[in-house]
């Protein structure tokens, strides 16, 4: 399959030497970043797959500063939707797989939230024991349809016998929008879920759920809407503009990041600031990836012991990044990411049960 047959190339957008667009390469680079824009929203109820114009987002993104970024980045263009929504899922997986072969991080932008299934499927072909973090206001575990859509894709990922899922984290759900049964089920199977309130004002509480993520997807419905709607399902409550950009940077800082999806964006919005916000979200993601790639390979830790009743627990702080981990092992991969707040709570005798899971 020829990649040129699957994508419309992006139009040329003039940019200055100091701007990000001036650094873009034309082909999928090795160990780089690849942007892919998608117009297929058929995973939504009454959703369509008509070609959309992403050039306003591109112009805003290309004209942002390139700073000292060294990670090569390309814009592969606009995905040509398949005859059916299932065809689009297949095409997405083929393109993402090409990126994974080159150790490049694909960022799929646009389309309906169920395309997260294809991101997981493509990555699962190359990797095992995946850690998946989703930012979404909805926890939907429907099983009503065989065809993948935004209400059942998560259930299909979690229940698949062929997928290798190690961890799933669901962040930003809103109680008043969700069925109690879905929330309780996630808690019963001990998946980490966090409400919107726990993500507001600071990234510190939920940053550990991004730190080892292989795949992160962002449902734009989790962002509060501006004007005619930032998402195709506009919400009055959600992460604000500064918060979502801060979280995009945290996503890029993941130690294991291999794939990212940003879905349900309202491409037809007449509000210029919505397109500008999405462009800046992508920029902060790119910034985080560049910072992570600049971190030293050799790491040093300070170890702190905490006594709770008759038991002692070890917390360790990375001296370079300042990030915290739980566990006494010397090998960092065996340590569990945690926050400074969890360490402070442990000193007061309160140990988060998640830290003790095997």
* Tens digit of each residue's pLDDT, the chain (358 residues): 688 889 999 999 999 999 999 999 989 999 999 999 999 999 999 999 999 999 999 999 999 999 999 999 999 999 999 999 999 999 999 999 999 999 999 999 999 999 999 999 999 999 999 999 999 999 999 988 889 999 999 999 999 999 999 999 999 999 999 999 999 999 999 899 999 999 999 999 999 999 999 999 999 999 999 899 999 999 999 999 999 999 999 999 999 999 999 999 999 999 999 999 999 999 999 999 999 999 998 999 999 999 999 999 999 999 999 999 999 999 999 999 999 999 999 999 999 999 998 6
Q: Which pLDDT does position 33 carry in this prediction?
A: 98
Q: Which pLDDT does position 57 carry in this prediction?
A: 98
Under a CB-based contact definition with an 8 Å cutoff, are residues 123 and 258 in contact? yes
Q: Which pLDDT does position 4 carry in this prediction?
A: 85
| Confidence (pTM) | 0.97
Under a CB-based contact definition with an 8 Å cutoff, are residues 224 and 266 in contact? no
Q: Which pLDDT does position 357 carry in this prediction?
A: 84
Compute φ and ψ for 51, nearest 5 degrees: -55, 135
Distance CA 105, CA 258 (A): 5
Closest C-alpha to 123, from 50, 213, 201, 49: 213
* Angle at the Cα of 101 from the Cα atoms of 264 and 71, rounded to 5 degrees: 70
Helix (H), strand (E) at residue 275 = helix 272-293
Residue with tokens 């072909």: 125
Q: Quick check: helix, strand or coil at residue 341?
A: helix
Q: Which pLDDT does position 144 carry in this prediction?
A: 84
Q: Tell me, what DSSP letter sits at residue 358?
A: -
Q: Which pLDDT does position 358 carry in this prediction?
A: 63
Q: Which pLDDT does position 1 carry in this prediction?
A: 64
């Amino acid at each position: 399959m020829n990649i040129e047959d699957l994508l419309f190339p992006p139009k040329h957008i003039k940019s200055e030497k100091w701007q990000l667009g001036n650094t873009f390469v034309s082909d999928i680079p090795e160990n780089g970043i690849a942007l892919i824009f998608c117009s297929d929203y058929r995973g939504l109820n009454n959703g369509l797959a008509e070609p959309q114009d992403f050039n306003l987002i591109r112009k805003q993104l290309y004209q942002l500063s390139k700073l000292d970024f060294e990670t090569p980045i390309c814009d592969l263009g606009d995905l040509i939707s398949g005859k059916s929504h299932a065809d689009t899922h297949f095409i997405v997986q083929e393109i993402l797989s090409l990126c994974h072969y080159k150790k490049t991080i694909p960022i799929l932008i646009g389309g309906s939230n169920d395309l997260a299934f294809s991101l997981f499927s493509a990555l699962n072909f190359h990797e095992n024991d995946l850690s998946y973090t989703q930012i979404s206001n909805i926890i939907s575990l429907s099983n009503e349809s065989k065809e993948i859509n935004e209400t059942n894709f998560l259930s299909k990922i979690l229940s698949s016998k062929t997928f290798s899922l190690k961890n799933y984290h669901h962040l930003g759900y809103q109680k008043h929008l969700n069925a109690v049964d879905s929330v309780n089920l996630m808690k019963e199977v001990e998946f980490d879920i966090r409400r919107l309130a726990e993500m507001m004002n600071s990234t510190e509480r939920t940053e550990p759920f991004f730190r080892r993520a292989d795949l992160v997807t962002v449902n734009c419905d989790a962002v509060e809407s501006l004007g005619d709607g930032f998402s195709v399902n506009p919400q009055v409550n959600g992460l604000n503009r500064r918060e979502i950009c801060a979280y995009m940077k945290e996503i890029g800082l993941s130690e294991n990041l291999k794939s990212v999806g940003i879905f349900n964006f309202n491409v037809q919005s007449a509000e210029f600031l919505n397109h500008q916000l999405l462009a800046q979200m992508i920029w902060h993601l790119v910034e985080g990836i560049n910072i992570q790639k600049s971190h030293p390979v050799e790491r040093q830790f300070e170890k702190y012991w905490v006594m709770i009743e008759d038991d002692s627990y070890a917390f360790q702080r990375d001296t370079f990044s300042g990030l915290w981990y739980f566990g006494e092992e010397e090998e960092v991969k065996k340590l569990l990411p945690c926050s400074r707040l969890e360490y402070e709570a442990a000193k007061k005798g309160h140990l988060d049960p998640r830290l003790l899971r095997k």
